[in-house]
Structure 1
Amino acid sequence: MSTHSQYIKTKEVAEILKVTVATVYKYVKEKKLKPVYEDSWQIDETLLFRPEDVEQLKEELTKPGYTTGDVAKELGIHPTTVAIYIKKGILKAEKQKYQGRELYFISEVELKNFKDRTKKTRSDSKQFYTRDLTYFLFQSYHNDSTHDFGRIVEVNDNDCTLVTLTGKEIQLSQDSTHGFKSQYKLIDKPYNTKKGYVKFLFPKPLNISHAIYETIEQLLVAAGPQNCKLTQTEDSILFEIKPTFIEINDVDLFTRMSTILKHGVKEGEVFIRHDGIFLKGNLVPLTIHVPKNFKEQLKKNAHKADMTLEEYGYTLMKERLDIKSDE
């Protein structure tokens, strides 16, 4: 038979769980924690609990990792941005039940690896080409004298790093190209006002002559840098482009690009035509009316997340409804 001294009082439970007494009563009401006697407070002036029940609840309440909010604070970004990284597979997370809710959790190891990856390889939409449009990420180069082939793998303000097929790294600048010339140049084309982006997620090839790099190069040249976004990690490339039609005259190039784009599309649609490839967005109009102060707050949050108001609202609705982009 158990004795009174073997049980734990409400205040002691609160100290063990590192919560308030009121929260303990909340757990009892939610049936997360069952007292030994439902009416013990009338006799003992406190509820009594079995130690094993308290320990079990403590384990259930222990966070299995970092939440999206924790990661957002750690990285200095908005929680919505973290959620986008998870959806796109840039940040690995596992959905687990915590305090009665299904939440995404990121392990300490994954967060550290993510920080390391983004420090070394992340290239955002403002950094994948130079200001004068001379150089851009994955731009191909040839050396007529050595017959060597290379591709730009890193872009800074006015210079860049080129890697050849043999693995040699070369710094290119306006003053020194080391005999390398590029067939393709960027043109500052007008901004495409069509809504949304067609999004692609590619594995990052080790071979710089791979068709994935060739495809991204062709899309950047055809659409213009203002109409594209590019983010890369150590093992993946996220490429976003405004809905557009890409005219392709080379049959072999057309075949390679068609295959790459069909396999890599994550949001939007790819239509293969006889004269080129049509990239179509899948956004449709949705009109809602909200209070003015509500809209202003959304604008502020969108700005913090480095997103347009439409992108931010769309992301929030996807998260709330748990809808995948390709559904």
Structure 2
Amino acid sequence: MNNNDTQIVSSKEAAEAIGVNKNTIYKYVKNNELAPINKETWHYDGGYYFNQSEIERFKETLKKPGLTTTEAAEILGVKPVTVFNYIQDGKLVSFQQAYKGRTYNFIREEDLEDFAQNYNKKRKETASFYSKEHEIALFQLMQNETERARVISVNDGKFFIRTDSGEHFNNSEANSRGFQVAYHLSKGKRSYKKGEVTFKFLNPTSNSSVVFSVFDILYRHVGISNMKVNEKHEHIYVTVSPVHINVNANEHRDTLKAMEEYAIEGKVSVRPDNSVILISNISPLYLTLKDELKERIRRKAKENNQSMDDYISSKLQELDQEGKL
């Protein structure tokens, strides 16, 4: 075909220009999204042909209106499903819009930038519960020959303690008075089990608070690699990976009672051998699928840089959010 006024492109050339395959071009035509110049005679012409101006117009409609959840995840350094959870929890502003025949969650760059500033600030706050330099953590027990104390602040490599008698010392003063940690933080293996258990405590004002006993158990038997601690106003939030705690429940009844009382997500359970286990509120779902469907899910998960479990979970959460479950 020829046209002296307008450049004409074939379906193959249109597919290359748009970045899709030839079958997708035919789908766009069928859905009246893309208009060929030979819609009535394409069988005789050997395929569709388009004005170059029509291809350019259509390419404009395919421009992404924002960042995808995968792109946002790469910027934040987290998994796409984590970004979806931020959106679902109302922490990250997003909007839904059709793009290349499907509806996606998109995030404006300025909204992600605002979120990232708060996200990084919170990460810094969370990380401040532990000093790698001193190998000491918030609320950890310290003692010298005559008195005990608790670490009440950890920040920028410095820490402050409060003695049982109410005196406050910085790390230099604490060292000069002979205060040392009463136990070393656990170096236990990191737990990769799904979900988490979260506790919410009032910030303790007395060294006799049972909250400190909870921290002692977590630091000694769970380890900081499986913990996140965040201070918000007068509350302390402790998030712990699901783990087995090898302690005798009978010897820690008051502490375990406090853990059960202040758990706001997940639960504390005593095993038959009288040890303790922290259980998340996430349960596995086992599916039996046809091979073809399983393969499609595998490809989609790979495209979104997710595991198949995370991909299926995010899609089910989307359906639940839309009220379709």
TM-score, with structure 1 as normaliser? 0.52
What is the root-mean-square deviation in Å for CA atoms of aligned residues? 6.1
Q: 2:253 aligns with which of 249, 255, 273?
A: 249
Taking the aligned partners of 1:98 and 1:200, their CA distance within structure 2 comes to 37
Partner of 1:318 in structure 2? Answer: 313
Shift of 1:225: 0.9
Amino acid at match of 2:261: T
Name the SS of the counterpart of 2:278 in structure 1. strand
Is the Cα–Cα contact under 8 Å of residues 161 and 171 in structure 2 kept in the other structure? Answer: no
**In the aligned structure 2, how far is the partner of 1:29 from the partner of 1:110?**
36
Deviation at residue 242 of structure 1 after TM alignment: 1.4
Residue 310 of structure 2 aligns to a residue whose secondary structure is helix
Q: Deviations over 1:117-175 (max 9, x none)?
A: 34434169998645588412454789xxxx998623447xxx444498xxxx98636x7
1:116: which partner in 2?
A: 117
Which whole-Å CA distance do the structure 1 matches of 2:134 and 2:283 have between them?
30
Give the match for residue 223 of structure 2.
Answer: 225
Do the aligned partners of 2:211 and 2:258 also contact (CA within 8 Å) in 1?
no
Q: Distance in 2 between matches of 1:104 and 1:118?
A: 19
Alpha-carbon deviation of 1:67?
0.8
Gaps of 5+ in 1: 1-7, 289-297, 306-310
Task: Specify the code of the residue in structure 2 equivalent to 1:249.
Answer: R
Q: Is the 8 A contact 2:227 2:240 kept in 1?
A: yes
**Cα separation, partners in 2 of 1:232 and 1:315, compared to 1, 3 Å:** farther
- Structure 2 residue runs without a partner (length 5+): 1-5, 163-167, 289-297, 320-324
**Residue 261 (structure 2) aligns with:** 259
1:196 is aligned to 2:196: no
CA gap 1:62/1:208 in 2 versus in 1, 3 angstroms: farther
Tell me which residue corresponds to 2:75: 74
Match of 2:291 in 1: none
Is residue 229–residue 240 contact of structure 1 (8 Å, CA) maintained in 2?
Answer: yes
8 Å CA contact 1:129, 1:137 repeated in 2: yes
| In structure 2, C-alpha distance between the alignment counterparts of 1:215 and 1:110, rounded to whole Å | 41
**Following the alignment from structure 2 to structure 1, what is the Cα–Cα distance between the partners of residues 128 and 258?**
27
SS at match of 1:92: coil
Q: Is structure 2 residue 267 aligned with structure 1 residue 240?
A: no
In the alignment, does 2:92 pair up with 1:92?
A: yes
Change beyond 3 A, Cα 1:69–1:131: same
Aligned partner letter, 1:107: R
Distance in 1 (alpha carbons) for counterparts of 2:127 and 2:110: 29
Q: Secondary structure at the match of 1:105?
A: strand
Q: Which amino acid aligns with 2:218?
A: L
| Distance in structure 2 (CA, Å) of the matches to 1:285 and 1:84 | 19
Flag the structure with larger Rg: 2
